[in-house]
Structure 1
Amino acid sequence: MVLHVHTMGPFAVMRMLAHRGPRLISAHVTPETLVGSIRGTYLTIGFVRWYMRKVFDLATLILSVSEATTLELKELGVRGTIIPTSNAIDEQRIRPLSGRRDELRREFEWDDRPVVLGVGQVQPRKGVEEFVSCARSLPHLRFVWVGGIQFGMLSDARHDLTRLRASAPPNVTFTGLVPRDKVFEYCAAADVFFLPSKHETFGLATLEAATAGLPLVLTDLPCYREWLKDAYLHGETVAEFVALIRCLEDEDVRAKWAERASDTAVGYDSRMLVNGLREAYLLAAAGI
């Protein structure tokens, strides 16, 4: 029997230690992922790196979600066998929602203004401050951030981000945590996806937005360059992001970038995930 874990907590470690068959772990998280997510990570980064390296080395196979993540694992000193197994999603949970766009916008009580959507935990790493700053510069657009402060008191800059939400301009809405299917509905109803994140291992929320046919405005991260190629707009500063979002106010420009994102997302559907996992399980069972 193959054991496949997706987390690195004590329960997952105990399962891996007790399991006598092949052990697989998906590398969704690296030490860099926790910087700007968990309070005080910079003070304990040495321990975090040691702990993650030990956990990854328990696995028979490590499934890396991107080449950028593979490089991080190698820099971490992971000794186990790493194979690429990209993230994928069930596109049938997202694409059909496009037919409900008008209905969903009425449900969300949105007017005709273009809606700029961000999805992720409310934390510095995700670029929430930059998101709000862009909204201040574009008061004629509606900005919606889907996601909450997931780690509670352990969240990095929790008090600062709580104040940021409270003082956000009137064209910004924070939904808090919502079910995943509701996130898909927000994607189907929005006009632009904007995520100025500072680090991602792959960008699953970005893939969901691309599958929904949203044009993408992102930071130019290595993982995005790998799978999105030239299917997204990218910037580094608030001024650059504002300029890109302004360009997407033109419906023809928006449609062009939406088509590019949607076409790219086709290659990351559920069939790809099934095939990748089947190959990984066969390799693990054969003892590599």
Structure 2
Amino acid sequence: MLKIEMFSQADTVKGQGVGSVYDELMAMLHRHFQSKLKIDVNHYRKADVSHYHTINFPYYLSTFSKRRGRKVGMVHFLPETLDQSLKMPKWVKAIFYRYVIAFYKRMDQLVVVNPAFIPKLMAYGIPKKKITYIPNFVSRHEFYPVDKDVKRALRIKYRYDVDRFTVIGTGQIQTRKGVMDFVKLAKKYPQYQFIWVGGFSFGKITDGYPQLKQIVDNPPKNVAFPGIVDRSKMAEYYNMADLFLLPSYNELFPMSVMEAFSCGIPVLLRNLDLYKNIFKDSYASFNNFSELSKELEKIVNSQDLQKQLRAKSLKIADYYSEDRLAKIWYRFYQEQAKKS
């Protein structure tokens, strides 16, 4: 039996994707490999593989112990991606960014969820052979489609209009997520209702906090900000919607998009290069606000297009299925344990 030591504080900050990725992986490993893997969390016991999900300083110090076995690190961000999420003094930023790369370099193997990160890590001096691409996945046990009657019942439950076209966005409320465009779109189309699920996970150091906080406290009448919702309730919010919209300017492999796909709702995303390799043609896209408005109108006014997008969502969700990714992860752990 392989001994895996997980190191994570991902669940200490609510409403962010790192925690969702970690929770999905842990649940999958327990469902599929309870008799093959012995998994501990933050116990610092001797292990065949130590898997680091967050970069806390005590974890960095632990990498110098021979008890750690093969050290595997998840790459959820790089300095340039943090730059668009958090506001920090320049000297703090310089130190922290150097620490991020130093942490990654302490690993024997890194796992990226998007292949676009591989050349960026190589530019920091990390050899390609030390980087493995394993995509995110979402459990169909939690995120799955529902019929029209259930959708209607969910809107009644959460006190939303049962007959209005409903657009949902999810994620931390920050500038890079495109929340401003989300609200701007809502103002242009007051006949539809818009819901953004998420909050200020990092408080006042969130990029754009003052302006965004004012909008959240005084939203347009057709916009709701229910805040950070427990993950066990997220599928209900997706399934209330007719369309999932993420106007983010910068992403890796967003769990929110995977969750929307898994619930079988149409997806509309900003046209980012990093989506093309991982999501193919499974979504509608736009480049600017004008195109965003036109895409929304097309989707609202075409039942056929909605049907096509729902089918594409379910198809890509099947490709990133838990069963397929479970085999990939188990094989990866076996390979890493042999090298240790």
> Under TM normalisation by the shorter chain, which class is it?
over 0.9
Q: Per-residue deviation at 1:200?
A: 1.0
1:252 matched to 2:304: yes
What do residues 180-222 of structure 1 show as CA deviations (whole Å, max 9, x unaligned)?
1211111111110000111111111101001111111111223
What do residues 31-89 of structure 1 show as CA deviations (whole Å, max 9, x unaligned)?
23212211137775544442221111111111110111223222333247001111111
Matches within 5 A, 1:139-218: 139-218=190-269
1:274 matched to 2:326: yes
- Return 220-229 or 92-101, whichever deviates more: 92-101
1:54 matched to 2:102: yes
The CA distance in 2 between the partners of 1:102 and 1:108, in whole Å, is 10
Contact 1:194 1:218 in 2 (8 A): yes
- Return 151-160 or 171-180, whichever deviates more: 151-160
Q: Which runs of 5+ in 2 are unaligned?
A: 1-47
1:119 matched to 2:170: yes
Relative to 1, partners in 2 of residues 1:100 and 1:5: Cα closer, same or farther, differing over 3 Å? farther
Aligned with 2:116: secondary structure? helix
Q: Per-residue deviation at 1:244?
A: 0.7
Contact 2:49 2:68 in 1 (8 A): no
Q: Which residue number in structure 2 is paired with residue 100 of structure 1?
A: 150
Q: What is the root-mean-square deviation of aligned Cα atoms in Å?
A: 1.9
Aligned with 2:199: secondary structure? coil
Q: Per-residue deviation at 1:263?
A: 0.8
Q: Which residue number in structure 1 is paired with residue 62 of structure 2?
A: 15
Residues matched between the structures, number: 288
One-letter identity of the residue aligned with 1:37? S
Aligned with 1:93: secondary structure? coil
One-letter identity of the residue aligned with 1:257? L
Q: Per-residue deviation at 1:5?
A: 1.4
- Return 4-13 or 134-143, whichever deviates more: 4-13
Contact 1:142 1:172 in 2 (8 A): yes
Contact 1:116 1:143 in 2 (8 A): yes
Identity %: 28
The CA distance in 1 between the partners of 2:328 and 2:58, in whole Å, is 26
TM-score (norm 2): 0.80
What do residues 86-124 of structure 1 show as CA deviations (whole Å, max 9, x unaligned)?
111111211165573222111122221111000000001
The CA distance in 2 between the partners of 1:73 and 1:56, in whole Å, is 9
The CA distance in 1 between the partners of 2:89 and 2:328, in whole Å, is 33
Structure ranking higher on relative contact order (CA contacts 8 Å, 6+ apart): 1
Aligned with 2:110: secondary structure? strand
Contact 2:178 2:249 in 1 (8 A): yes
Q: Which residue number in structure 1 is paired with residue 315 of structure 2?
A: 263
Contact 2:50 2:68 in 1 (8 A): no
Q: Per-residue deviation at 1:142?
A: 0.5
Q: Per-residue deviation at 1:24?
A: 0.8
1:3 matched to 2:50: yes
Contact 2:151 2:239 in 1 (8 A): yes
The CA distance in 2 between the partners of 1:42 and 1:84, in whole Å, is 32
The CA distance in 1 between the partners of 2:213 and 2:232, in whole Å, is 25
What do residues 224-246 of structure 1 show as CA deviations (whole Å, max 9, x unaligned)?
11111111111121111111111
- Higher-Rg structure is 2
Contact 1:49 1:76 in 2 (8 A): no
Runs of 4 or more off by more than 6 Å in structure 1? none
TM-score (norm 1): 0.93
Contact 1:203 1:224 in 2 (8 A): no
Contact 2:49 2:337 in 1 (8 A): yes
